[in-house]
Structure 1
């Protein structure tokens, strides 16, 4: 039995598969990917800061904005990527001009597309599951997510270099694209769906807006009521603040009555909880901003870390190692660089929103600092170590 022949590219005459359409949607996708990459790079360097990079503690809400944008642009990239693939899939049926010099360029083009699409699909998939805190794979998320980002950038640059002449040719609108909205007539055959090019653009833009509005509420409280796609809702959790990692998850139980906080430096100090409460207290209005994209502002009260450094005689410019009572885990300890340790907003917090910390929020003490990822705002702190 003879197998049916595959269609050719000419079998898809719809204007929705025109290079102009692919260029416009590609621009939108390119903007989203660029923002997502740069904000993701900032988040990665927050958690693994290279020696040559100085991350400031201000603006205090900078990480809240950048990580909210990172997750938002990652989410809206899904409908944009699907739309982009739909506009160009007829190219899969283009026969290779073999033998000939053009065949090599076509092979490189398809190779760049294969790597780009595969890497982006995997990146968006594991990134979305990260927002749900579900990791059904054996490899480390952070390192894999970071490596895939650079693979995407490389494949994208290669693809743009190959397609640059076509992109330039279709970057600006043609007379056919300037047809008034009231006149549906186009120079190319109508799409089977009945959509015009502009209709497709509106549909894709609407899908992007819908996905964005129903997810961004996890970091924009005003949109919280419609954040049906967000894994975290504002004001939901102990003391009206969401929790990622509970005390039970961290292996932290009830705190013993003889619990003491210590700070090791030129002079070693030790305090009971009542003694910490007796020290001069300060207040900081700072958000918790997590790598999963959600954030929420809160009112924190406690002792300024810079005051603790002075009490133990730490030299100027000291940084700190923060040690938690958490049993193991990647973030049982963290480092507080001098820019954050000396910032007056950085606290060893004892209270949240007017009451003592809930155990799931780090009772009896936690770190809260400006412009820091939530995973570095260490909970259940029982020791600070001065690093010189």
Structure 2
């Protein structure tokens, strides 16, 4: 009985393999989609590394504070480009999945190794796509920390992609460069895939690029929404800081490796020279929003405590939990005149959800590192 079932399965698979003869599944279409997909994955990998190392900079390297919009552009490309890659990935899988049904699936040890690489490539691509879409939708339907899993899976995916590309490049080059001209159906298929990706990019790009704001119907966060016209991810109530933020006894303490410890009330901060900066708040989910912030320069406050030019500063929030309740500010950022301890937004006192009474805002810095509800600066 078992042998009969196995033979029947082999016959079914062999029969199905012979039925997938559409030109849309030919080498030429698959090669073009594969080249485009490799470029998209490569771009996502590079911009993803920029995001990761901006949030977790190694001790031997620090990101500059200029250009102001560098992170806004790279993270916008990462998320918007990643979303636009979804139809491309699905189309590529549609063109090649009949190969998975070939019998026998493995003919040699080398073939088994390559099949394992393909499994990692397909599995990694689907994992990054599904979890990435869920993450920007704020639907955490998985039991692991997204950032860590997304980061390490990217190395698996790129490694498998490089092995696959090295093996398939001669055939892909031959199919693209010397193959017959496209049939009308194949050309229409490829244009449809490109159009779908372009439509997704167009309807999400406004989350990061203001000129396209009105078209951002698929964006998870749209500029102009939220308190004082700026989106937020974490509210004061949700962070459990509302009472502490509104406490009249709130003060800012500058401590650590300083010549003199400084304690400033809110009125003391307001009495310092006020500065204004137009800076974007940029989230790792890809959205960003320009805003006019007013407050005191971080460097002016640190100078009151006699801080050395090479010091690093840990900014601490009133929030008592969460991996982003503190952030580290390197010398290049705290010495930048655009880096503020903001007290006002758009000409009004900060809304509690934007970090009242005091928040950090700095150029070229991820939103999770623009610490809200600041109450302590620890110089290291």
Structure 1 length-normalised TM: 0.91
Q: Is the Cα–Cα contact under 8 Å of residues 112 and 155 in structure 1 kept in the other structure?
A: yes
Task: Note the alpha carbon deviations across 1:344-364, whole angstroms, 9 max, x for none.
Answer: 110011011111100000000
Q: Look up the match of 1:165.
A: 170
1:239 aligns with 2:246: no
8 Å Cα contact 1:33-1:73 kept in structure 2 = no
114, 117, 120: which one pairs with 1:112? 117
Please report the RMSD computed on the Cα atoms of aligned residues, expressed in angstroms: 1.7
Residue 348 of structure 1 aligns to a residue whose secondary structure is strand
1:332 aligned partner: 325
Whole-angstrom distance in 1 between the partners of 2:12 and 2:150: 40
Does residue 1:262 correspond to 2:253, yes or no? yes
Q: Distance in 2 between matches of 1:122 and 1:97?
A: 23
Q: Deviations over 1:281-321 (max 9, x none)?
A: 11111100000110011111111111112111111222201
**Residue from 202, 208, 227 that aligns with 2:216:** 227
Alignment partner for residue 14 of structure 1, among 5, 22, 27?
22
Residue range with higher mean Cα deviation, 361-370 or 327-336? 327-336
Residue pair 2:339, 2:361 contacting (<8 A) in 1 also? yes
Distance, in Å, in 2 between the alignment partners of 1:239 and 1:83 is 42
**Residues 120/175 of structure 1: CA separation in 2 closer, same or farther (3 Å cut):** closer
Shift of 1:125: 1.2
Moved more, 372-381 or 108-117: 108-117
Distance 2:150 2:373 in 1: 28
Report the Cα offset of residue 221 of structure 1.
Answer: 2.2
| TM-score where L is the length of structure 2 | 0.93
Q: Quick one: distance in 2 between partners of 1:348 and 1:98?
A: 62
Between Structure 1 and Structure 2, the one with more helix by share is 2
Q: In the comparison of the two structures, how many residue pairs are matched? A: 368
Tell me which residue corresponds to 2:58: 50
Rate the CA distance shift 1:88–1:298 in 2: closer, same or farther, 3 A.
Answer: same
Alpha-carbon contact 2:106-2:112 (below 8 Å) kept? no
1:375 aligns with 2:380: no
Bigger mean CA deviation after superposition, 116-125 or 61-70: 116-125
- Unpaired runs of at least 5, structure 1: 178-185, 187-194
Match of 2:12, SS state, is: coil
Aligned-residue offset at 1:98: 6.8
Q: Does 1:201 align with 2:190?
A: yes
Distance 1:173 1:363, change over 3 A: farther
